[in-house]
Amino acid sequence: MKLEDYAWNKNEQKAKEEQIVFTYTKPKIKIIDNNELRNKIEEALEKMPQELLARWALKVATPYLDYLDEYLKGDSRINLGIETLEKRIDESIGAFDLRKVGFAVNELAKESKSEISKNSARSFAQAIATGHMRGHALVSSDYAIRATNILTDNSIDASTKERERQLKIIHELLN
């Protein structure tokens, strides 16, 4: 895969070019998770072009929009974020325009009152930010796990099911 397809961000292209050995990352947030499946996801994401990565992150995050606080569910920033990411994927806008919208979408988390809404909004905001940098995709999926933890009182079975769903989306996008 060409570096331009792997990453749209020059810094990420350079890092990929210089990367000798793939190493797993640790979540940036505290989650109860199936680490084996998270590692499989991270490995698979590393092999995907950024276009598919952005589509994957959006598919992972959007079901969690159902858990936004009621007064945020119809917020226009949701559609704006989705439309802007689609434009970025289609190369009709640049990173600067996407980032401006990303900051607006991120406000959904700041305006949330409940923890489930905050984490669901963060998952969505990170998914939108994947149009700028690849690294946001895995963070988006980790926030989806955090939301699952909140919904299920930290059930590892529920986290495993969510990671399996995330893997299934990868396979659907690649086939």
pTM: 0.96
For the stretch 121-169, pLDDT in tens is: 999 999 999 999 999 999 999 999 999 999 999 999 999 999 999 999 9
Per-residue model confidence as pLDDT tens digits over 105-126 = 999 999 999 999 999 999 999 9
Question: b or e along 133-153 (b: 16 or more beta carbons within 10 Å of the residue's beta carbon)?
Answer: bbbbbbbbbbbbbbbbbbbee
Sign of the CA dihedral 133, 139, 140, 141?
A: positive
